[in-house]
Amino acid sequence: MALSASFKPLAFAPASGLTKINWKWLLQRVPMVALALLSSWGVGGFILQSGKANWAVAGVGAGAFDLVFLGVIALADQQLTTKRSTHVLYWALNVGAALVAALMNTLYYSGGTYASITAESVTHGALFAVFGLLYSLYYHGVMSEALQKDEEEAEANAARMQCPHCGDWKKNQAAVYSHYRTCPKHPKNAPA
Ligand SMILES: [Zn+2]
């Protein structure tokens, strides 16, 4: 099985022919969702605290923030960020989302003003966002490596060549040539 398949939400079980929920994937994602939810609580709370928006606006704001955060991670999982521009954007979006979350959460727990930010409100506000960011970056790194391994495996398989005499598979054409010396079916090796 391709390594990256274990990082996908649904797993196909060939034995039963059924597609099942990949519980490992789900468990790996729960911390990310939980941290993003905690962060968005502060984002929503901060919008509400301003007194200029009602709970519906705060809810949409918090939800939009969460969706961007999780959407970026989900999208990035599906492809290798070998393109430099995509890679930079991924980091910018992740770091940006974490900074916004940390700032809004800290302000929310400080009562809404920069003047009243304390060490305690920073602890309340910033840590979840920082952990969420670190976790998602770690996960993204693991996923990228898995995708890269799959790609290398596919490339190695594509280079494989078969011995025309005995049908053995070798890793490339050069390996087939050197196999001729010991191939039991090669005409040169036939008993005289
Ligand atoms: Zn052979």
Q: Look at residue 78 in the predicted model and tell me its pLDDT.
A: 60
Task: State the distance from the centre of ligand 1 to the C-alpha of 169, rounded, in angstroms.
Answer: 8
Q: Is 130 strand, coil or helix?
A: helix
**Span from the CA of 170 to the centroid of ligand 1 (angstroms):** 9
Q: Evaluate whether 13 touches 5 at the Cβ level (below 8 Å).
A: no
Residue with tokens 């011995």: 163
Residues 5, 14: contact at Cβ < 8 Å? no
pLDDT number for residue 144: 77
62 CA to middle of ligand 1, Å?
Answer: 65
- Residue 171 Cα to ligand 1 midpoint, Å, equals 13
| pLDDT at res. 12 | 67
CA geometry: angle at 131 spanning 66 and 11, to 5°?
Answer: 65
Distance 153 CA to ligand 1 centre (A): 23
Residue 163 confidence (pLDDT):
95
Residue 72 has which token pair? 């970026």
Cα distance between residue 110 and residue 125, in whole Å: 9
Beta strand ranges found along the chain (DSSP E)? 10-13, 18-21, 161-162, 169-170
pLDDT block averages, 10 residues each, the chain of length 192: 62 71 75 77 82 82 76 63 68 81 86 87 83 78 80 89 94 94 90 72
Q: Show me where the domains of the chain are located.
A: 28-159, 163-192
- Alpha carbon of 191 to ligand 1 centroid (Å): 15
